[in-house]
Amino acid sequence: MSEPILMKGNEAIAEAAIRAGCRFFAGYPITPQNELPEYMSRRMPEVGGVFLQAESEVAAINMLYGASGAGARCLTSSSSPGISLKQEGISYMCGAELPAVIINIVRGGPGLGNIQPAQSDYFQATRGGGHGDYRTVVYGPASLQEMVELVMEAFDVADRYRNPVMVLGDGILGQMMEPVVFADDQVREPQPKPWATTGARGRERRVLSSIYLEPEDLDHHNWKLEAKYEQMRQKEARYELVQMEDAELCLVAYGTTARICRTALEKARSAGLKVGMIRPITLWPFPVKAFGEAGANLRAYLVVEMSTGQMVEDVRLAVNGARPVAFYGKTGGAVMLPQQVVDALQDLAAREGVGR
Amino acid sequence: MSEPILMKGNEAIAEAAIRAGCRFFAGYPITPQNELPEYMSRRMPEVGGVFLQAESEVAAINMLYGASGAGARCLTSSSSPGISLKQEGISYMCGAELPAVIINIVRGGPGLGNIQPAQSDYFQATRGGGHGDYRTVVYGPASLQEMVELVMEAFDVADRYRNPVMVLGDGILGQMMEPVVFADDQVREPQPKPWATTGARGRERRVLSSIYLEPEDLDHHNWKLEAKYEQMRQKEARYELVQMEDAELCLVAYGTTARICRTALEKARSAGLKVGMIRPITLWPFPVKAFGEAGANLRAYLVVEMSTGQMVEDVRLAVNGARPVAFYGKTGGAVMLPQQVVDALQDLAAREGVGR
Amino acid sequence: MKKIFARPRSLKDTLMHYCPGCTHGIAHRLIAEVMDELDIRERTVGVAPVGCSVFAYNYFDCDFQQAAHGRAPAVATGIKRVQPDCIVFAYQGDGDLASIGTAEIIHAAARRENITVIFINNAIYGMTGGQMAPTTLPGQATTTSPGGRDVENKGYPIRVSELMATLEGAAYVARVSLHNPAGIARARRAVLQAFRYQLEGKGFSLVEMVSTCPTNWGLSPLAALKWLEEHMLPAYPLGVFKDIQGGGQG
Amino acid sequence: MKKIFARPRSLKDTLMHYCPGCTHGIAHRLIAEVMDELDIRERTVGVAPVGCSVFAYNYFDCDFQQAAHGRAPAVATGIKRVQPDCIVFAYQGDGDLASIGTAEIIHAAARRENITVIFINNAIYGMTGGQMAPTTLPGQATTTSPGGRDVENKGYPIRVSELMATLEGAAYVARVSLHNPAGIARARRAVLQAFRYQLEGKGFSLVEMVSTCPTNWGLSPLAALKWLEEHMLPAYPLGVFKDIQGGGQG
Amino acid sequence: MPKVEFDEDRCKGCELCVAVCPVKIIHITERINRQGYRPVDVTDQEKCTACTLCARVCPDTVIEVYK
Amino acid sequence: MPKVEFDEDRCKGCELCVAVCPVKIIHITERINRQGYRPVDVTDQEKCTACTLCARVCPDTVIEVYK
Amino acid sequence: MKRAEVIMAGFGGQGVMAMGMLLAYAGMKEGRHVSWMPSYGPEMRGGTANCAVVVSEEPIASPLVTEPTAVIAMNLPSFDKFERRVVSQGVVVVNASLVHRPAVRNDIRVIWVPANAIALELGSDRVANMVALGAYVAASGVVEMESVVESLKGALPPHRHNLIPLNRQALDRGAACAR
Amino acid sequence: MKRAEVIMAGFGGQGVMAMGMLLAYAGMKEGRHVSWMPSYGPEMRGGTANCAVVVSEEPIASPLVTEPTAVIAMNLPSFDKFERRVVSQGVVVVNASLVHRPAVRNDIRVIWVPANAIALELGSDRVANMVALGAYVAASGVVEMESVVESLKGALPPHRHNLIPLNRQALDRGAACAR
Ligand SMILES: Cc1ncc(C[n+]2csc(CCOP(=O)(O)OP(=O)(O)O)c2C)c(N)n1
Ligand SMILES: Cc1ncc(C[n+]2csc(CCOP(=O)(O)OP(=O)(O)O)c2C)c(N)n1
Ligand code: SF4
Ligand code: SF4
Ligand code: SF4
Ligand code: SF4
Ligand code: SF4
Ligand code: SF4
Ligand SMILES: [Mg+2]
Ligand SMILES: [Mg+2]
């Protein structure tokens, strides 16, 4: 096993991508993810890859369209406002079935907002902020090590389904340093892409496009895509259960918030509350199954997000009325304290008569 | 009362906007909404308003930001890919609390897709395709007359809440002709806007911005916005109930699809099925209340959309597990036939044992 | 009996969907002829825009990508960087290139991207039914400038070749016209030069083709050619605006 | 005893957040002085960009809007069209104007939008920590061109004033520099001229100010001024590039 | 002997070739082709000089020229 | 009598004024101001010619000049 | 007449859109519910164009017409495409000037109208659409011919009102074919 | 030592980020769980900068430090801001060269270190941060001083390894203040 290295989250993502065979990066500066393109600008030339600072986020995602179509494993990264600008491009990539990995180091919104950590782009990521029926797998890692592993996996998943994959971080995950290990066996080699436009030398020409003029054709295309998305729902959903065996209250949180909730969970348990946690690792497909496994003791859910409440809808859809679902959130970089989560748990316990 | 006029949907929207006091339009050509800017290019000069063909959808939405901030009632229109490009701008307008009306004459997606009618931008419209916690009221009219009335109302609602409002049409509503009546008393006058940047003549200067550098400030701003959105949830939700009194099966559909479902409903009733319909008129806030009013006979819902299933999530959230929710959809301009909806109803009836 | 003029190999048999007399078809053929001449069909990747030529990929017998509106230069950049041995060209209309795609074309040139762009300037948005383009002439009536383009309110045409020629990264920028056989012959030479430069790694090349849109100009194909000659050519002078191997406005 | 140099009325008292020696502060003061001189503070609406000057609205004592990154010219257009009697100016950095906002600035000028743009060319992205800008000089090291800007791969600087001067709708385009008192005096005159043209309805005006970013250049404020003079001025020659009242490159 | 051949079903009757032919032998027909257009044809094949001008202006690669 | 006044708490110690003063009377101090910078000050006020150059180069409008 | 659902189709330039609008206008004038829905998009370029008109006593649920009660086919591709869609006992007006094959179905009423020939006789190719419309209106009785003529006033700009007599003639000649 | 949660703060340019990273490196070298989290953004411009370091035997849930066990305050604004946040019985290392007010709280251990003065004595203003870090490491015992010195090798690029002795001296001089 390799040595742990102390790395910034943004740099760890970049290194993970390169080890996953990524050889094309295009992006546009934006805080709090700048270390990622900066790292790429140094590393890509070393591995014979391409680093491009695009003129805008719009250009960057469309460069990815071209590069992915030409067969490269490719990455772009940005933060909230920049990701909004990529929505048309993401929709095009889904339509033309082009793989890519897209990193969103989420910051406070809406508008210019601020550059502090947030989770308020959940809807955009999981519902598709662009037009049309499309989906992307969305990972929500909670540590740098997990981020490294999921970024590497993201490239495989993207290629497997010929579809973009998104990784949601936040200012904390992007900026913090933590030891990470790059296991040598994690190195991936891109598979052949018999659809890439590489010049029609001795073969039929290839066309990549998302236009289907005839309604019947586009309808057919959409249901074909939907079948792919259904495959993802079946196969790609991931989550972690924490102390759920005897839990009466269940926290639901992802990413940085899940870390805070873990501390809160310990505190609450010390205070006598039987609390567990479901930590979605994929935000889409949402790990609905995790909620089906809830024990008989479970009385209610508390969803904690750095937003005014977005994932809470997916939890309600997963729970489907079986138990109450409460919400606690902070926004705009105002990260909640573990104690505030404990207080919210205690309120919920009181409301639901838990522990009485 | 005024005479009915036979008008194209796109032109009816434009005329309604002008009668609602809209004096600024910026947009970029895209099918199937081109008649709207074209009409504006003729009409705006007549009423002393501004028509601008922007260099892009991005520029158009940002022109609205400026114009709205300068106090005008303003409109932009586009279709799916163009609306994706406006997402950053919409997020900014919500953040800076600037009113405007945004028309999306939805077409088939994802990507370039085609120019046929679709409803696959529902998530984008109702969940906010841009970044951050924000919401816009979204209307889903089903006839040209209703479209005219809702567009006029949209300007009032936008000003009232200082927030953009969206109207979702589709290729059919945009392209079809139907008689519309412009009642004289529908004419609206914009109210004074004591926040508009009009030059600080003899008053304190005014600043419009969406940046809140301090987490506490942005958190506060977001909860202030959320309170506004909660007001909208309380006051702006609208829907129509069709033959719900004795219904055993309930169709849920909006816009063009609701028209098709109305025909299907008649057919199904002739065939002996007790079918009703909930027609959401606001897609956000979603008319949750309508589902609470369901009669005791009701057995199941069938959501019908020109998409692979988006509003169905809102229905499931509203129903909250109380009854089964089924889905039938067509995409990419492949508009469903009334008979196909009847078939889907019959399948559902069989599955749920209705009418046996 | 020898065939002295034949359909180029690089063009497919497919019927083109363009309106009668639309010069898009001529532009396509010229590109295909040059692909034949340079024997690069098997290593060429084209990028189709959004505009009437959105289906260009149906007509060329080479690999193709269809790009989002205005983004063809960014897409071409992605392809070229990943496949530097491929010959990559983008085909764009004036709405696509000079309006929504302004940033992408300028930065592709500034970046010295080793690609070729064929730019069809027909002074209008053809595909969407005749709206004003950045290249629409002063006074020209379109569906969004019904009284004729009024420069006070709607501004002046953008001269793309002149603009692009200010960029150091551009190796070759030429404006040609498709209104008669002599113009078409010159256009062919410009396309050949542009692709040659790419083959030689000289950097960005752009050929602006002054073109017609009979349908949205509301003219017969022949009247459209005449209108082009009489109105477009004075506003859009032909010539080579940039050539890193010497030469210039000419 | 008479005060012969005072803080302009149009500037607020607030401390500015700029780094020590950053020329953004000088540019602000010049604009405020011109607002005072023309007595337009009460009818001026400024547009702040995204960049280090995002908080410009905190420093000017007039109405302001904060625009999305690169879109200030579009926002200014919206304001000016609705309030034609207001004097509207946008303040933009080189990332904002020459990269992401390329289309907006070119089209505002082409449209002959009667607004004024102050363009701060400091050859770098200041706000985000020193990445390469479209105006970064060949060989200049930045956090995304760590080995120095290599023109083969990263292209050439864009000369904004030269580019804008090709547009018919631009009434006045000048490049000035803030590196010494004489330069600052000339800069002030250019700003005055630009606002005058707007007052007279002459159309679009732009003043490019060659500026420093000591922090991200990794130089002391004084060394930065020297670097500006030695490296930026040869690449960005000063002068008036467009003046519809005669005059030109000079 | 010079000869022009028209792939009639490709023709859209735009008459660009008609205008450009130096010997004026191309004319529009009364027929309606598969695409719904009235295609052109030559009257006096023998007058053709094989100058290829018609083929060079034709937007739809209808014409091939032999010599 | 010419005079320059420094609003010390605005000063960021960038020394642009120091370099530009023709009579070299501005110098950086050892004090640390509210902002955390070491502000400048004048030594020989009487040598000031009220040329205003210092004020014109100061990015932070620290300086006012009297005559 | 309870409800008419008509599809009108032809080459671009044959005036099928205008024909449909005129019928919708006439229906509106008579106080009926009407809708008009065009096919739109790139296929208009050279290819066929069509529109669907519904005239009904009751509010119109869907403006789309999938089972037309009548079809006006101005050229062969339109006849090919829509003949099979029309309901049993429905009416199909066919432009005999451009369509030379017989009908396939025998459960429909086919009215052969040499629309272009008649229009040329009247002096203008452009009123072929009015000839066909006249035939349909006469055959179906969906609206009064007078309403159609009245609607021309609204549909044509004032400086074109001199064309109304010509259009009326065309309508009448078409009507004659339907008898 | 179970868990240290340290905030280090000062003006931009005082090397507080590097100081934090070094502590995290040292913790990692000793096989502990560590995290380092910077404040970031425009406030770095001229204003104060700070970072939070956690060194723990157990996996670190949140890298954010809201109740620091120790604070290193390199200037007055940092002391003002963080003195009140430190836990009772916590350690506060104060740069006595720049902070001249006494501590307000008396339930904490305050270590006064004239970091800039000592650094200047050692010949370089730039190692003031190492002086402060030395004091903290000695006072807290959170890691061995040797681990910090070892970490310098990893943290400094090879061509700067000649600076290690100077840094070590600085650490030691700081440590001396804590005794
Ligand atoms: C984002 C986006 N905006 C707008 C459109 C609609 N659209 C399609 S083609 C086109 C312009 C076509 O004009 P041009 O580029 O000049 O090409 P032409 O058809 O004239 O050859 C537009 C605006 C689109 N498809 N996507
Ligand atoms: C859509 C979007 N992309 C990127 C950013 C991040 N960003 C903020 S400022 C800036 C560039 C600043 O550079 P410049 O315009 O040159 O201004 P300066 O700070 O140098 O004055 C960038 C890329 C953003 N806020 N929004
Ligand atoms: S609309 Fe114009 S540009 Fe498009 S195919 Fe027709 S003639 Fe050509
Ligand atoms: S980072 Fe550069 S441009 Fe920004 S304030 Fe500092 S010196 Fe000025
Ligand atoms: S080749 Fe020349 S002469 Fe022969 S038909 Fe064509 S244009 Fe006429
Ligand atoms: S130029 Fe070509 S398409 Fe046009 S009429 Fe002649 S042969 Fe037919
Ligand atoms: S006014 Fe002139 S002489 Fe006086 S201090 Fe300033 S620069 Fe020096
Ligand atoms: S120029 Fe201004 S800020 Fe800079 S040192 Fe002088 S007074 Fe201080
Ligand atoms: Mg065009
Ligand atoms: Mg800059």
pLDDT 10s digits, H54-104: 999 999 988 989 899 999 999 998 999 999 999 999 999 999 999 999 999
B8 to chain A, minimum CA–CA distance in Å?
A: 22
Is residue E3 classed as helix, strand or coil in its secondary structure?
strand
> CA E44, E49, E55: angle at the middle one, nearest 5?
90
Which of helix, strand or coil describes residue A350?
Answer: helix
If one counts every other C-beta atom within 10 angstroms of the C-beta of residue C76, the result is 30
**Residue A326: strand pairing partners:** A302
Return d(Cα C143, Cα C133) in angstroms, integer: 11
The ipTM estimated for the assembled molecules is 0.97
pTM of the model: 0.97
DSSP B169-230: EEHHHHH-EEEE---GGG---PPP-TT--S--TTS---EE--B--SHHHHHHHHHHHHHHHH
Instruction: Say if residues C102 and D100 touch (Cβ distance below 8 Å).
Output: no
For residue A186, pLDDT beyond 70: no
Range with the lowest mean pLDDT among A303-312, C29-38, F30-39? F30-39
Q: Is the pLDDT of residue A189 over 90?
A: no
For chain B, the average pLDDT equals: 96
The answer to whether the beta carbons of residues H41 and H47 sit under 8 Å apart is no
Query: With a 6 A CB cut-off, is F49 part of the ligand 7 pocket?
Result: yes
CA nearest to C168, candidates D138, A58, A56: D138
Q: List CB-based neighbours of ion ligand 10 within 5 Å.
A: D 93-94, 122, 126
Across the range H4-32, mean pLDDT stands at 94
Q: Do B67 and D81 touch (CB under 8 A)?
A: yes
Which residue from A29, A42, A111 is facing D125, i.e. has the nearest CB? A29
Question: Is it true that the peptide bond before G165 is cis, omega within 30 degrees of 0?
Answer: no
Q: Which residues contact D209 (CB under 8 A, 6 or more apart)?
A: D23, D27, D118, D119, D120, D121, D175, D176, D177, D178, D187
G60 contact residues in B (CB cutoff 8 A): 178, 259
Judging by beta carbons within 10 Å of its beta carbon (0-12, 13-18, 19+), is residue D178 exposed, middle or buried? buried
Q: Spell out where chain B has E strands.
A: 5-8, 24-27, 50-53, 74-78, 100-106, 137-139, 164-170, 177-180, 207-208, 239-242, 249-252, 275-280, 282-284, 300-305, 325-329
Our mutation pick for probing the ligand 6 site, out of E18, E41, E62, counting the most ligand atoms within 8 A of Cβ, is E62
Q: Is the pLDDT confidence value at C45 over 60?
A: yes
Residues of D in contact with F60 (CB under 8 A): 15-16, 18, 25
Average pLDDT over residues B207-230: 97
Calculate mean pLDDT across residues B126-141.
96
Residue A68: name the closest of C79, H125, C211, C157 by CA: C79
Kindly report whether the peptide bond that precedes residue G38 is cis, defined as omega within 30 degrees of 0. no
Mutate which of F17, F48, F56, F61 for ligand 8? The one with the most ligand atoms within 8 Å of its CB, which is F17
Tell me the angle at which helices A57-69 and A87-96 cross, rounded to the nearest 10 degrees: 10
Q: Alpha helices of A162-287 — where are they, by DSSP H?
A: 171-175, 215-235, 255-270
Cα separation, C124 vs C98, in Å, equals: 11
The pLDDT of residue B188 is above 90: no
Contact between chain E and chain G (3 or more Cβ pairs less than 8 Å apart): yes
Assess whether the C-beta atom of F18 lies below 6 angstroms from ligand 7: no
Residues with CB under 6 A from ligand 8: F 6, 11-17, 39-40, 58, 60, 62-63
- Residues B29-73: tens digit of each pLDDT: 999 999 999 999 999 999 999 999 999 999 999 999 999 999 999
Q: What would you measure as the largest C-alpha separation in chain A, in angstroms?
A: 76
Output the CA torsion sign for H44, H46, H48, H50: positive
Minimum Cα–Cα distance from C109: chain D residue: D155
Q: Which bound ligand lies closest to the C-alpha atom of E6?
A: 6
Confidence (pLDDT) at G125: 85
Take residue D219 and report the two structure tokens written for it: 């130089």
Site to substitute for ligand 7 among F24, F53, F56, F62, most atoms within 8 A of C-beta: F53
Chain segment C94-145, per-residue pLDDT in tens: 999 999 999 999 999 999 999 999 999 999 999 999 999 999 999 999 999 9
Task: Pick the residue whose CA is nearest to atom 1 on ligand 3.
Answer: C126
Closest residue to D103, CB basis, from B59, B67, B70: B59
* Ligand 5 pocket member E51 (CB < 6 A): yes
F13: left (phi over 0), alpha (psi -120 to 50) or beta: left
Average pLDDT over residues H46-56: 87
D63 vs B96: CB contact, 8 Å cut-off? no
Which residue from B233, B229, B231 is spatially nearest to B132, judged by alpha carbons? B229
Q: Who contacts B187 (Cβ-Cβ below 8 Å, separation ≥6)?
A: B19, B20, B21
Give yes or no for residue A322 having a pLDDT over 80: yes
What is the C-alpha separation between A1 and A165, in angstroms, rounded?
28
User: Residue C122's pLDDT is what?
Assistant: 98
Least confident of A335-344, C144-153, G9-18: G9-18
Give the closest residue (by CA) to ligand 8 atom 1: F58
Cis status, amide bond into G63, omega within 30 of 0? no
Contact criterion met (CB < 8 Å) for B65 and D65: yes
pLDDT score recorded for residue B189: 66
CB distance D56 to ligand 4 below 6 Å: no
User: Element (H or E) spanning G95, and its range?
Assistant: strand G91-95
The two three-digit tokens of residue B352, written as one number: 């749920």
Confidence of residue A183 (pLDDT cuts 50, 70, 90): confident
**Number of H helices and number of E strands within chain D?**
10, 8
Taking the CA of residue D133 and the nearest CA in chain F, the distance in Å comes to: 23
Percent of chain B scoring above 90 in pLDDT: 94
Assess whether pLDDT exceeds 60 at residue G121.
yes
Q: Residue B356 pLDDT > 70, yes or no?
A: no
CA distance readout (Å), B201 to B206, C193, D14, D86, E6: 11, 60, 21, 10, 74
pLDDT at G43: 47
Taking alpha carbons only, the member of B308, B320, B287 closest to residue B120 is B308
The whole-angstrom separation of Cα G151 and Cα G34 is 14
Number of neighbours of residue B335 by Cβ within 10 angstroms: 23
F15: enclosing H helix or E strand: none
The pLDDT of residue G57 is above 60: yes
Neighbours of chain H (3+ CB pairs under 8 A): A, B, D, F
The whole-angstrom separation of Cα C194 and Cα C207 is: 7
Average pLDDT over residues C145-156: 96
Mean residue pLDDT across chain C: 97
The least confident of A181-195, G119-133, G164-178 is A181-195
CA distances from A93 to A196, A225, B189, C86, D37 (A): 13, 12, 44, 22, 53
Which has the closest alpha carbon to G34: G4, G74, G75? G4
What was the pLDDT predicted at B191? 80
Helices G115-122 and G164-177 cross at an angle (nearest 10°) of 140
- Cα D90 from chain centre: 8
As a whole number of angstroms, the distance between CA C77 and CA C90 comes to 10
